[in-house]
Amino acid sequence: MKIEILGTGCTKCNKTKEIVEKALLENGVDAEVVKVEDFDSIISYGVMITPAVVVDGEVKIAGRVPGVNDVKKWIS
């Protein structure tokens, strides 16, 4: 599983990464977590507002920080 955190390095983007890593740890799921900060790459997903989370190529959320329970649903 590949999880991409789309964002330019803002506080909300960093918080999103922390939440994703916490959900993975709590569920015992092994996944590659990648921070994507390149604007062209972010736009290629159709995302205009960050932070955003992409799981295996599918945008799960954009424009807000997800909750841990949201992430757990996406990874199970």
What's the start-to-end Cα distance of the chain, in Å? 11
70: left (phi over 0), alpha (psi -120 to 50) or beta: alpha
pLDDT tens per residue, range 18-74: 999 999 999 999 999 999 999 999 999 999 999 999 999 999 999 999 999 999 999
Hey, what's the torsion of the CAs at 61, 65, 24, 8, to 10 degrees?
90
Is 29 designated active site?
no
Is 10 designated active site?
yes
Select from 3.90.105.10, 3.30.60.50, 3.10.250.10, 3.40.30.10 the CATH code of 2-75.
3.40.30.10
Given 3, 5, 13, 54, the catalytic residue: 13
pLDDT surpassing 90 at residue 13: yes
